[in-house]
Every structure is written in C-alpha cells, then in structure tokens.
Amino acid sequence: MAIRDMLLTLTSYPEPTPASVIDRAVSFASSLGAHIAAICCEVHVQVPGSLISFGAAGAIAAGEALRSRDSAQALLAAFEAAAQKAGVLHEIIREKSLSHRVPERLVEYARLRDLTIVSVPESYDQWNAEAIIFGSGRPTLVLPESAPSGPFELNTVVVAWDFSRSAARAVADAIPMLEKAKRVHVVTVTNEKVIDTEHSSEELAKNLSRHGIDVTLDRVDAAGRWIGDVLTREAASHNADMLVMGAYGHSRFREFILGGATKSMLSKPLLPILFSH
C-alpha cells in the first residue's frame, strides 16, 4: 500500500517537540508525496479534589496548562511554516486533553492514517510512542529527538528479519520506503532465538525482488549480546537512514510489557525506526 496520509504527533508538555523533528517529518512526507497532518494537544493537569482547596495547587495546574497551550501554538505554527515552505499538502489538528488521556486521543487519530510519526524524548517516558505502536494498528515511524534537522534521506535501509509475524508486517508496511531506498540490507541475528525456518530470508528477498527491491542478506551472530545492541551496531555499520523492525509486546492495563528488542530500541533510538505490530 502506498503511503499517502501521515500523522505527526507533537508534544506540548512537559517539554515541546524539537523543531528538527518537524523538519524531518515534513521532509519525509515530501519524499513520498504524502499529505501530512500535525496534531498537538493542549494538556490540562488534573488536580485531585482533595487539593483543590489549596490555591497553590490550582494555580500551578493553571500555569502548566498555559505553558502547554503556548507550546502547542508555537509547534503548530512551526509545522505550518515548514509544510508551506516544502509545498506539502498538510493539515493542523489542535486538541485539548487531560494529561493522562493524551495517548488515547493520539491513538484515535493514528488509526485513521497510513503511518504515524512520533518522536521519543530522552528526558521522560515514551508512553505516547508505545500507545501508538501497539494501539493504532498502523505502522509507526519513531524519530529520535536528537536527530539533526535537514532532508530525510533513504539511501540505506536495514530490515531486521526473524520470520515472525510482526517482522512480516513491518516489511509489508515498509515497501513504499524500501522501493525508494538505494540499498536494503536484510539482517537476521543468529544464536539469539530459534527461527522457524532456515531459508526465510532468501524467500523474503525473492518476494521483495518482485517489487523491484534488490536486497543484501546479512547474518550476524548475537554472540551473547542484546538483540537491540546487535541491530544498532548493524545499522551504524551500514550508515543506515532507517531501521525496519516488528514490535513485540502487549498491554496490561496501562503498563506495556515490551519484548527485548522493542524495549531497547525504543528507549533511546539513534536513527529513525519503522515499527509495526
């Protein structure tokens, strides 16, 4: 399926999304000829009823809400300017939400887009990203907040392949990006877990070749290393512009139980990662 409709999630609170994320998201939409909508929530911090009588608590909450509103306005204005400059079809969505309801609101919008772009902050939790990856039913592109601004390039893409259902879903979702990449490396990590078949990577290469995608097959021995470390090193060794991988995990109430590779890659991504679940 072609990627024609994207969603960019912008965080107004507690810290605003960096401008570099906006620039790269708009550049990515432009490279695929896609429409992109940016959503940002004005966050309202809920004060427990027992504290409302204390004026200071209410004043602090009101001040934080005002800070969130100002950040949302600035972020959406920056997105508007970037999209207009790039000549990209775009839309602005501004919502108001209690802080604990923001992930649910973002998931609602993400389910109606071909792909959602999120950034992962280094200073606080990744709840928004996790909620979208596991709740939207659509692919999610995670951008590191430390990424430099500039055009989004797809010279080299690394695909993490273990013959799992989530990996197969990720490859299918990534085909529009793989078709544009100059080089595609399919990486299978051995001696990390049992893979159901020995020849799945070769068969995957045949499948992708029918989409006009030529791939290089790489087998890497885990050698006792964490899978996330292995994939990060492989992506770095190929100077990859994107990593494609399946996301493994499930939700227990509001706590996500993440698979090892998903958890390690999401905690501090060093390059754009396309997750599918």
| DSSP per-residue letters across 118-132 | EEE-SSS--HHHHHH
Among candidates 145, 26, 172, which has minimal Cα distance to 88? 26
What pLDDT is stored for residue 1 in this prediction? 75
Residues of the chain with pLDDT under 70: 46-58, 60, 122-125, 147-149, 196-197, 249-268
What is the sign, positive or negative, of the torsion defined by CA atoms of 116, 119, 120, 126?
A: negative
Distance CA 186, CA 184 (A): 7
Distance CA 245, CA 249 (A): 13
Angle at 215 between CA 214 and CA 221, to 5 degrees: 170
Length of the chain: 277
**Directed axis angle between helix 260-267 and helix 127-135, to 10°?**
140
Distance CA 16, CA 202 (A): 44
Considering the entire predicted model, what is its pTM?
0.88
What pLDDT is stored for residue 123 in this prediction? 52
pLDDT 10s digits, 35-80: 999 999 998 876 555 445 555 656 767 777 888 899 999 999 999 9
Distance CA 65, CA 12 (A): 10
> Please, what is the average pLDDT of the chain?
87
Angle at 134 between CA 131 and CA 135, to 5 degrees: 70
Distance CA 169, CA 255 (A): 24
Distance CA 253, CA 256 (A): 8
Distance CA 107, CA 138 (A): 10
Which residues, in sequence order, are bridge partners of residue 40?
10, 94
Element containing residue 20 per DSSP (H, E):
helix 19-32
